[in-house]
């Protein structure tokens, strides 16, 4: 059972880590939405150390608005980056109440 | 070279390399020889794998795109599940998990791997050098429109750009839009329009202009 569903607002964790995570620094701390839920994969933190039976986590595709990622971004408001993030790097975001 | 030494052919770098193998190369050779000695793999297994890797080329991806252009049902299945691409007898030698991204009049997709050089190798072959360059990898996500323009691709102001950072377990193939004026073309003719760079998404297929 995956913790997040397509369309849900999420934040990518902003952690300082050593080792292999496959989470590039430019997306850490960024807010976005789940584009689609993929399936479970062996996480890089274990894969990189040759542990084929290590921890597995659901992988998601997350959409991030280019304007949110980059101050003074030049392009359309709808321009976006999509990236794969494992579940243990995602945090739920409370939808702002109007 | 002395002035009297006038070859007919041009000078080129010597074919022979005098560099000693690096640490990783030595490690690879050692592990491979050990695996062969222990009977885990044969030398022919290894050779066949390399032959397969070198044999994959963008022509495979072009066949997939051209098929999708002419067969609506195939296209629907391909967009829902990228593994459908391997139905056309393509050897998915590294068990690539493929997602196919459809370009539309509203959205232009292109692919980068900011962390290294992830690429759908069984279906496109080995990535070009520029795809692996720090310049492309760092700038594609930050200035996508400027990077596309450097490839000669100037997006209209009403087309959104969608950059796919291929960082983890999935690999991406862009399905470009079928050019206008190709309605009566055969699948084989269409495939010739689909080049490597159109499937990375840094350019779009164009119908060659007729000779003047």
pLDDT number for residue B111:
98
The lowest-confidence range among A54-68, B8-22, B94-108 is: B8-22
State the pLDDT confidence band at B1, using cuts at 50, 70 and 90: very low
What is the predicted ipTM? Answer: 0.94
Q: Which residues of A touch B115 (CB under 8 A)?
A: 22, 24
Q: Which residue of A has its CA nearest to B165?
A: A83
A4, part of any domain: no
B135 belongs to the catalytic site: no
Which CATH number fits the domain B59-200, given the four candidates 3.90.330.10, 1.10.10.10, 3.60.9.10, 3.40.30.10? 3.90.330.10
Is the CB of A69 inside 8 Å of chain B's CB atoms? yes
A3, part of any domain: no
Total domains present in chain A:
1
- Domains of chain B, by residue range, sit at 23-54, 59-200
CATH code where residue A82 lies: 2.30.30.50
- Which tokens sit at B25? 């190369």
A98, part of any domain: no
Q: What is the mean pLDDT of chain B?
A: 93
A1, part of any domain: no
Does A70 sit within 8 Å of B142, measured CB to CB? Answer: yes
* pLDDT beneath 50, residues of chain A: none
pLDDT number for residue A12:
98
pLDDT number for residue A96:
62
Does B157 sit within 8 Å of A84, measured CB to CB? Answer: no
Which tens digit of pLDDT belongs to each residue from B22-66?
999 999 999 999 999 999 999 999 999 999 999 999 999 999 999
Residue ranges making up the domain that contains A71: 9-92
A97, part of any domain: no
Which tens digit of pLDDT belongs to each residue from B122-170?
999 999 999 999 999 999 999 999 999 999 999 999 999 999 999 999 9
State the pLDDT confidence band at B6, using cuts at 50, 70 and 90: low
pLDDT number for residue B2:
47
User: In whole angstroms, what is the distance from residue B135 CA to residue B166 CA?
Assistant: 16
B117 belongs to the catalytic site: yes
């Amino acid at each position: 059972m995956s913790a997040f569903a397509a369309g849900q607002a999420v934040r990518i964790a902003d952690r300082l880590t050593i080792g292999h995570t496959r989470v590039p620094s430019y997306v850490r701390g960024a807010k976005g939405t789940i584009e689609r839920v993929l399936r479970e994969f062996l996480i890089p933190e274990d894969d990189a150390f040759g542990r084929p039976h290590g921890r597995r986590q659901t992988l998601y595709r997350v959409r991030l608005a280019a304007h949110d990622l980059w101050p003074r971004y030049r392009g359309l408001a709808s321009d976006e980056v999509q990236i794969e993030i494992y579940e243990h790097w995602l945090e739920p975001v409370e939808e702002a109440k109007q | 070279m002395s002035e009297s030494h006038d070859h007919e052919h041009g000078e080129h770098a010597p074919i022979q390399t005098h560099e000693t193998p690096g640490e990783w190369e030595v490690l690879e050779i050692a592990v491979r020889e050990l695996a062969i000695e222990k009977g885990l793999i044969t030398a022919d297994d290894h050779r066949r794998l390399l032959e397969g890797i070198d044999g994959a080329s963008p022509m495979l991806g072009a066949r997939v795109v051209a098929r999708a252009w002419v067969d609506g049902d195939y296209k629907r299945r391909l967009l829902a599940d990228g593994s459908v691409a391997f139905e056309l007898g393509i050897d998915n030698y590294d068990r690539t998990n493929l997602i196919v991204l459809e370009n539309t009049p509203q959205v232009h997709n292109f692919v980068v791997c900011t962390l290294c050089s992830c690429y759908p190798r069984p279906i496109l072959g080995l990535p070009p050098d520029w795809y692996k360059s720090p310049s492309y990898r760092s700038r594609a996500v930050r200035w996508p429109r400027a990077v596309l323009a450097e490839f000669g691709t100037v997006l209209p102001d009403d087309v959104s750009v969608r950059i796919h950072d291929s960082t983890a377990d999935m690999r991406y193939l862009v399905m470009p839009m079928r050019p206008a004026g190709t309605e009566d073309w055969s699948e084989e003719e269409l495939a010739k329009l689909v080049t490597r760079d159109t499937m990375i998404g840094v350019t779009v297929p164009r119908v060659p202009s007729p000779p003047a």
